């Protein structure tokens, strides 16, 4: 049955364009997005680790989210930029396996942590008297560990099932990174059938997480709106709406990319969906979940003042 299949040692990834000007635009855009995501998330991690006032459940989950965001975008962006600079489309078989494994670990773990964060905010706002009991240190560690473990299992299952048999049609992947739907298009038909079943199951779990997040924020929105003032409305909108936008972007584009039928030829829609779910959320999350937060701003200002104080003292000493 596999006699007509070839042993693939490398894959050819899709480039955004062969036109030099568009290649430079692609490189510049990815570089800006990657640096913004890297700097934003590293800053969040540093502030949470350094400032003892941020050692609370909410910021513990933010720390997890920032680590996952750095991981998810670092798996995709540097390789795509390197290929653009070196004017190559190649990725080794082992490199493709690694990329698929890490993408399917970081992005589902990201969604799992977002789900836990929604639950944390729901308890804090809707059931404040029970917050310390429900969101104790042990419970937070268990919820984070469950999210990471579930993502790890999901990644191992999908990666093993995708690469267990040879690829029959070609080694050309119509995407700028190794993505399962595009790999299934060139894989052995038996793998395709079994992997589609697992993808549907994964999509259902993703929809459950997204539905849970939406229900949590709707409850938060309803509770805050009971505050009889314009400030209550403003707080509800500023708290819930940006979070729901990011979750909607990650969930909808990811589900569409993995569930919709793949095309035989390169598709601009496939490229756009992949950029939206893999590149944009890691860049947006530090802004949405952290930089608009008063505690994070206070910690950042405290760090800036401390650095300025150190620099001033050092300058005085040297003079």
Angstrom distance (rounded) from CA 225 to CA 220: 8
Q: Is 194 left (phi over 0), alpha (psi -120 to 50) or beta?
A: alpha
262-287 confidence digits (pLDDT tens):
666 667 777 888 888 888 889 988 88
Count the Cβ atoms, other than its own, within 10 Å of residue 273.
Answer: 21
Q: Which residues of 284-302 are buried (b: 16+ CB within 10 A; e: fewer)?
A: bbbebbbeebebbeebbee
Q: Where are the alpha helices (DSSP H) in 127-267?
A: 131-134, 137-162, 180-185, 189-225, 230-259
Pick the more confident residue, 70 or 188: 70
Which segment, 76-85, 235-244, 254-263, is predicted with the most confidence on average? 76-85
Give the dihedral of Cα atoms 104, 172, 30, 22; nearest 10 deg: -160
- Tell me the pLDDT tens digit for each residue of 130-144: 899 999 999 999 999
Residue 199, token pair as written in the block: 């993808």
Residue for token pair 């003892």: 52
With a cut of 80, say whether residue 235 has pLDDT above it.
Answer: no
The pTM of the full predicted model, rounded to 2 decimals, is: 0.86
Rounded distance between C-alpha atoms, residue 188 and residue 168, angstroms: 6
pLDDT at 193: 63
The pLDDT confidence band at residue 5, using thresholds 50, 70 and 90, is low
Average pLDDT over residues 230-258: 73
User: Any idea how long the chain is?
Assistant: 319
Single out the residue of 250, 158, 163 nearest to residue 201, CA to CA: 158
pLDDT (average), residues 89-108: 92
CA 244 to chain centre: 15
Q: Summarize pLDDT for 29-41 with one digit per residue, the tens.
A: 999 999 999 999 9
Give the whole-angstrom CA distance, residue 67 versus residue 87: 30
Cα separations (Å) of 113 from 157, 212, 239, 263? 20, 12, 17, 32
Just give the CATH number of 10-303: 1.20.1070.10
By the 10 Å C-beta count (0-12 exposed, 13-18 middle, 19+ buried), 128 is classed as: exposed
pLDDT at 298: 76
- Separation CA 60–CA 135 (nearest Å): 11
- ∠ CA 56-61-63, rounded to 5°: 95
Q: Is the pLDDT of residue 188 over 70?
A: no
C-alpha distances in Å from residue 74, one per residue of 30, 34, 35, 106: 11, 8, 10, 10
Enter the tokens of residue 236.
């509800």
* pLDDT-wise least confident of 256-270, 287-301, 302-316: 302-316
The full set of domain ranges for the chain reads: 10-303
- SS3 (DSSP) at 10: strand
pLDDT at residue 211 tops 70: yes
Band the pLDDT of 8: cuts 50, 70, 90.
confident
């Amino acid at each position: 049955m596999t006699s007509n299949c070839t042993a693939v040692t490398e894959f050819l990834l899709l480039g955004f364009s062969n036109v030099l000007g568009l290649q430079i635009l692609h490189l510049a855009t990815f570089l800006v997005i990657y640096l913004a995501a890297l700097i934003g998330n590293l800053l969040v991690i540093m502030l949470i680790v350094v400032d003892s006032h941020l050692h609370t459940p909410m910021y513990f989950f933010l720390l997890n989210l920032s680590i996952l965001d750095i991981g998810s975008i670092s798996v995709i962006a540097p390789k795509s930029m390197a290929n653009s600079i070196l004017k190559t489309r190649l990725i080794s078989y082992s490199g493709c396996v690694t990329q698929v494994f890490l993408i399917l670990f970081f992005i589902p773990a990201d969604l799992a942590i977002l789900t836990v964060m929604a639950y944390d905010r729901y308890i804090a706002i809707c059931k404040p008297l029970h917050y310390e009991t429900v969101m104790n240190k042990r419970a937070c560690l268990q919820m984070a560990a469950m999210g990471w473990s579930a993502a790890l299992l999901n990644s191992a299952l999908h990666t093993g099932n995708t690469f267990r048999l040879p690829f029959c049609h070609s080694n050309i992947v119509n995407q700028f990174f190794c993505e399962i739907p595009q790999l299934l298009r060139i894989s052995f038909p038996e793998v395709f059938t079994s992997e589609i079943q697992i993808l549907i199951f994964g999509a259902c779990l993703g929809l459950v997480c997204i539905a849970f997040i939406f229900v949590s924020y709707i409850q938060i929105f309803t509770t805050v709106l009971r505050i009889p003032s314009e400030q209550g409305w403003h707080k509800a909108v500023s708290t819930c709406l940006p979070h729901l936008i990011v979750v909607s972007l990650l969930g909808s584009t990811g589900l569409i990319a993995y569930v919709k039928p793949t095309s035989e030829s390169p598709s601009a829609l496939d490229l756009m969906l992949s950029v939206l779910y893999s590149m944009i959320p890691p860049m947006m999350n530090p802004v949405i979940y952290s930089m608009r937060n008063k505690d994070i701003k206070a910690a950042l200002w405290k760090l800036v003042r401390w650095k300025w104080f150190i620099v001033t003292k050092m300058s005085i000493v040297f003079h």
